[in-house]
Amino acid sequence: MKNHSFGPTLRRRDVLRLAAAAAAVAPFGSALAQGAAKPRLGLIGSGNVGSNLGRVWAAKGYEVMFSSRDLEADKRLAAQVGGKARAGTPQEAAAFGEVLVFAVPYGALPELGKTLGSALKGKVVIDACNPFAQRDGEIANEAREQGAGTVSARLLPGARIVRAFNAVGAARMGAVNATPGQVGMPMAGDDAQAITIATQLIRDIGFEPVLVGGLAMGKYLMPGTPLAGEHSPDEIRKIAATLKP
């Protein structure tokens, strides 16, 4: 896949186009805000990131299913979280969730893409995975060179991917709901409705979502980039304006 170097002006137009398209399907987001039609959430990966996100969403009334390689640990986690939380295998979580959240080592994505297969088709997938070469091997180098967003889309065929929850510490993911709207959450995606759904999910746990562009901008949503770390929504917009896909 070619890497296009669009200038900042064209990139802003692309963001505006996605934002306008997302507004066209805003009734779904409005329904979520009113507590109706909350989608079931399948957590693929229940480590620090997955468990913290799942806890807060469950507290907000979402049905969540935790999954990982350790079903017994997931059952204990679901029991601790309570409410509408449950546990299952990754295959069960993929079938259960109307929205899937991937929070696994990046090196696990190729195999998950194969084993989950058709269960991913048409699903909104929030990609919270970060590539680290020492841990994940060659696929991490590929993701860093080509962009984590575009590589994730290839590894999870048929999924409607929004990249988010990649640059803020896991502990903060479960704590910002105490001060909602103050901490920004950059996200990147190409599917307008998926962006709308992810926007409400992000906002529901206390972050203010900031769309920085299409999946090509996903290469900046990882540690070691200018968007890494904790920033206000305005700071994210200013940093993103200086970056190119």
Of 116, 134, 212, 115, residue with least CA distance to 166: 212
Is the pLDDT at 188 greater than 70, yes or no? yes
Q: What is the mean pLDDT of residues 76-100?
A: 97
- The answer for residues whose C-beta is within 8 angstroms of residue 16's C-beta and 6 or more apart is none
Residue with the larger pLDDT of the pair 18 and 121:
121
Say how many CA atoms lie within 13 Å of 2 toward its Cβ.
Answer: 3
- Tens of pLDDT, residue by residue over 101-114, are 999 999 999 999 99
When the pLDDT of each residue in the chain is averaged and rounded to a whole number, the result is 87
Predicted model pTM = 0.85
Q: Answer yes or no: are the C-beta atoms of 56 and 173 closer than 8 Å.
A: yes
- Tens of pLDDT, residue by residue over 125-155, are 999 999 999 999 999 999 999 999 999 999 9
Of 190, 188, 171, residue with least CA distance to 222: 188
- Tens of pLDDT, residue by residue over 48-76, are 999 999 999 999 999 999 999 999 999 99
pLDDT for 18: 54
Q: What is the side-by-side order of every strand in the sheet holding 99-102?
A: 85-88, 64-67, 41-44, 99-102, 124-127, 160-163, 184-189, 208-213
Is the pLDDT at 230 greater than 60, yes or no? yes
Q: What is the mean pLDDT of residues 224-238?
A: 95
pLDDT for 5: 28
Residue 35 DSSP one-character state: T
CA angle 59, 68, 162 (to 5 degrees): 65
Whether the CA torsion 96, 100, 52, 178 is positive or negative: it is negative
Of 237, 77, 201, 226, residue with least CA distance to 128: 201
pLDDT for 72: 98
CATH superfamily of 8-240: NAD(P)-binding Rossmann-like Domain (3.40.50.720)
**DSSP 3-state of 208:** strand
d(Cα 219, Cα 153) in Å, to the nearest integer? 12
List the single range of 1-5, 100-104, 112-116 with lowest mean pLDDT.
Answer: 1-5
